[in-house]
Chains A and B, each alone.
Chain A
Amino acid sequence: MSGRSIGEVILDLADVSLSFGGVKALQNVSFNVREHEIRAIIGPNGAGKSSMLNVINGVYTPQQGRITFRGKERGKMHPHDAAALGIGRTFQSLALFKGMSVLDNIMTGRNLRMRTGLLSQAIHLGFARREELRHREFVEHIIDFLEIQAYRKTSVGRLPYGLQKRVDLGRALAMEPKLLLLDEPMAGMNLEEKADMCRFVLDVNDEFGTTIVLIEHDMGVVMDISDRVVVLDYGKKIGDGTPDEVRNSQAVIDAYLGVAH
C-alpha cells in the first residue's frame, strides 16, 4: 500500500461486555484501532459484529469495559455525540433519506460543520448562503470522488443498490470523520459492485487518511484490504492480527468451518 503510515492508537476498547437480558452479545472483548489503518471485524452470523459497531457508535452502552477514543475515556453517549467526536458510519440495510436527492443526502453530512443557526438562516441569509456554498464545494468533491456526478439531483430511492451504498458512504465522508465505521459495505453486492466498493474504501483510507473499521462476514474481500483483523464468535474474541495470522489460526478456521465435537 502507498505512503500512509499507521500511527498511534486512536480507539481502544478494554474488556467490553454487552448483554440484552440474558443474551450475551459481547463478552470481555478488547482490541484497539490505530490511526490511518483499515481494521476489520469479522465473524460468522450472530458473532456480535454489529453490536460491536453499535457500541463504538454510541447506540448501545456496554455494561462493562472502557472505551477510549483519541485519548479520552467515553461515558454513556448517544450516536449524535459520537458523530460530534468524529465517528461516522454507514449502514448495512440502507438508511438513506429516501425523499431527498443524492446531493441533499450528502449535504446532511455537513450538518455538524455548519455554524449558522436557525435564526441567522432566517434573517441573515447572505452569510448562511456563503456558508452553504462552501459546504457545497466540499460535497461536490465527494461526489466526484465517488463517481456519482450524473445522479446529483436524482432522488436516492430511485438509484440501484450499489449506487445507494455509495451515497451512504458519501454522507458519512461529508462529516470528515476521524474514524469511519462501515457496516457490511459489500453485503448484497455483485462482484463488480464489490470491486468498486473495495476501491473506494482503499481510496478513502489513502486519500483522506481516514481510519476505517469495517465489519463483514465474507472473509475473502476483507483479507485483501485490511491491515489487521479482529475475529469474533459468539460474542468472544477468538483472533486478532494481520490477515495472514488470522487466516492460519486454528480457532478461526474452526469457527468458520465448524469442528467435529
Chain B
Amino acid sequence: MTLTTLQRNWPVVALIVGVMIGAIAPLALGLSSPGFYFEVLLGGLMSGVLYSLVALGFVLIFKASGVFNFAQGAMVLFAALSLARLSEHMPLAVAFVVSVAIMAVFAWVVERFVLRHLVNQDAVVLLMATLGITYFLDGFGQLVWGSDIYRIETGLPKTPVMVLDNIFEGGILINTEDFVAAAIAALLVLALAVFFQKTSTGRALRAVADDHQAAQSIGIPLNRIWVIVWTVAGFVALVAGMIWGSKLGVQFSLSLIALKALPVVILGGFTSVPGAIIGGLIIGVGEKFAEVFLSPIAVNAFDLAGGGIENWFAYVLALVFLLVRPEGLFGEKHIDRV
C-alpha cells in the first residue's frame, strides 16, 4: 500500500490502529496478568465466532437477493429449538439432519409464499416482510416445540483445561467445548468460501447477487437460487444455534442475537463473507475488553455507578463505522451515477 492510499483511507487506518492499541493496551499497561488477558481474549473470540455465524446468514441472503433478512435471529432460535427437541427422541446426528431438512422446507415456504410475490419491491417492503417472518417464526417455534429452556447435549467435555501454565503464571483456562465449537465454525466458513468460489452453483449464486436480469437471461432460475440461499442461511443458523444452545441452553433470548449481528455486518460490510467473520471477531473481543478492562478505569476516573459497556459497545463502534466508512471494512463501495 502506498502512502497516498494510506492518506486517502485515513479513517480506516485510524480505526485499525485504534482497535490494535485497544487490544494490546491492557497487556502493555500491565492491567492484567498475561493468563487472564488471554482468557478474556479467548472468551471474546468465542462469542465473536457466534456473532460471525449469525452475521454470515445475513450476508448470504443479502448478497443473493438484496433482502435484509431480519428473521436470521428467529431462524437461529427455531433451528436450535428443532434440534433440541428432536434430539430428545433420536441421536444428535439424526436430529441434526432432520433439522437441516426442516430449515430447507422453511426456505421453500418463504420463497413460495413471500419472496416470489414481492420481487422488485422496495427494500423497505422486503424488510417489513422479514420482520413479519421473524414474529411468525418466534411464535410458531414455541407453538410447535414449546417455550421452556432446552438443552442440546453435544457430549463434549465441559471441564476447562489449563494450558500454557509453564509459560505464564497461572496459565490459561480453556473450555474444550468452546475450542471444538470454534473449530466447527471455522470449518463451516471455509466450506462456504469454497462453495461460493469453486462450484458452479456458487458461481450462479454470485451471478444472481450481481445482476438478477442477466442471471435469468442465461438460464439461472431466481426462485431456485433463493431457496438454496435461504437453506444455506438456515444451515448456518442451525450451527450457530447448536453451539449457543449447548453452551447456554436454547431459549427465547436466542432470537435476540440477531440484534448483535447488526453491528457486525455494518462493521464488515453487508456483502462480504470475510467481513462478517472478522467483524464478528472484532465485536466479540472488543466488547469483552471494553467490559473487563475499560469499564473499571472509567468507573474509577469519573466515579460512575457501574459497568455495562458490553451492552452498547458494539453499537457505538458500528455508529463510528457508519460515519467514517459506511460500506464497512470489506463491503463494495457504491459509486452511484447522479
Contacts and interface: CB of A to CB of B under 8 A. Distances in A.
Given A107-B203, A108-B204, A97 B217 contact: no
Nearest to B195: A122
A193 interface: no
B211 interface: yes
Contacts of A171: 214, 218
Contact of A175 (B200, B211, B218): B218
Contacts of B176: none
B32 interface: no
A253 interface: no
Contacts of B184: none
A129 to B, nearest CB: 9
Contacts of A82: 217
A128 B217 contact: no
A91 B213 contact: yes
B221 A104 contact: no
Contact of A83 (B201, B203, B209, B219): B219
Nearest to A86: B219
B309 interface: no
B217 A79 contact: yes
A257 interface: no
Give chain B's interface secondary structure class. helix
A87 B221 CA distance: 15
Interface residues of A, number: 37
B216 A79 contact: yes
- Most chain B beta carbons < 10 A, residue from A84, A100, A104, A111: A111
B57 to A, nearest CB: 18
A140 interface: no
Nearest to A168: B214
B200 A83 contact: no
Interface string B196-229: 0001110110110111011111111110000010
A83 B213 contact: no
A128 to B, nearest CB: 7
A118 B199 CA distance: 8
Given A121-B201, A132-B200, A108 B207 contact: yes
Interface in B21-69: none
B148 interface: no
Contacts of A80: 216-217, 219-222
A189 interface: no
B204 A111 contact: yes
B207 to A, nearest CB: 5
Residue from the set B210, B211, B215 with the largest chain A CB neighbour count within 10 Å:
B210
Contacts of B213: 59, 79, 91, 95
Contact of B214 (A84, A96, A104, A118): A96
A83 B210 CA distance: 18
Contacts of B153: none
A109 B200 CA distance: 10
Contact of A84 (B203, B211, B219): B219
B199 A121 contact: yes
A172 B200 contact: no
A237 interface: no
Interface string A45-81: 0000000000001010000000000000000001110
Contact of B219 (A118, A128, A175): A175
Given A59-B213, A99-B206, 11 more contacts: A83-B216, A83-B218, A97-B215, A100-B206, A108-B203, A111-B203, A112-B218, A118-B199, A118-B201, A118-B228, A172-B217
Interface of A: 57, 59, 78-80, 82-84, 88-89, 91, 95-100, 104, 107-112, 114, 116-118, 121-122, 128, 132, 135, 171-172, 174-175
15 contacts: A79-B213, A79-B217, A80-B217, A80-B220, A82-B217, A84-B219, A95-B217, A97-B207, A97-B211, A100-B206, A100-B207, A107-B203, A108-B218, A122-B199, A172-B217
